Amino acid sequence: MSRILVLQGPNLNLLGKREPEKYGTTTLADIHAVLAAKATTAGVEFEAFQSNAEAELVGKVQSLFDRPADFLILNPAAFTHTSVALRDAISAVRVPFIEVHLSNVFAREAFRHHSYFTDIALGMICGLGAKGYELAMDYALARI
């Protein structure tokens, strides 16, 4: 059975109550429920993992050596702009991925314009809110 892993970075556990004008009112649980339903319909295994800790996210990516996934949907959140460690882990496991951001990072502060992930991603979706995850999932399901 194919497997898709969704990885969510720091503060995304606060979705719904975190700056809703930037990130919307949909909770992370709501987003994952929609993605899980799509995966189930397609007969694909689905797992979602959120952490506020860089080491835990790196560990989860490294675990793909033992328990592979066919596709990754990744919102590294603030680690997008800082984490060489998470980038290196993803390069190491060689799982194809789409980078997702709820907000349009290019319409925000300059420090959000650089990502350590976009150049190694299949593609990047930003600014479409929770819908961005659904589009990434549709692509992943069509591709695997």
Between 71 and 116, CB nearer to ligand DQA? 116
- Report the candidate in 113, 48, 115, 125 with the shortest Cα–Cα distance to residue 84: 115
Return the bridge partners of 8, or none. Answer: 50, 75
Between 28 and 44, CB nearer to ligand DQA? 28
Q: Return the residues of window 88-117 that contact ligand DQA according to CB under 6 A.
A: 101-103, 105, 112
Tokens (6 digits) for 63: 């675990």
- Phi/psi at 93 (nearest 5 deg)? -85, -15
Our finding on whether 78 is near ligand DQA (CB under 6 A) is yes
- Report the candidate in 116, 106, 47 with the shortest Cα–Cα distance to residue 78: 116
At 50 the three-state DSSP class reads: strand
Between 38 and 101, CB nearer to ligand DQA? 101
Tokens (6 digits) for 90: 């993803």
Asked if 101 is an active-site residue, the reply is yes
Smallest distance, Å, CB 135 to ligand DQA?
14
Our finding on whether 75 is near ligand DQA (CB under 6 A) is yes
Give me the residues that bind ligand DQA (CB under 6 A), please. Answer: 11, 75, 77-78, 80, 101-103, 105, 112
| Catalytic (active-site) positions | 23, 101
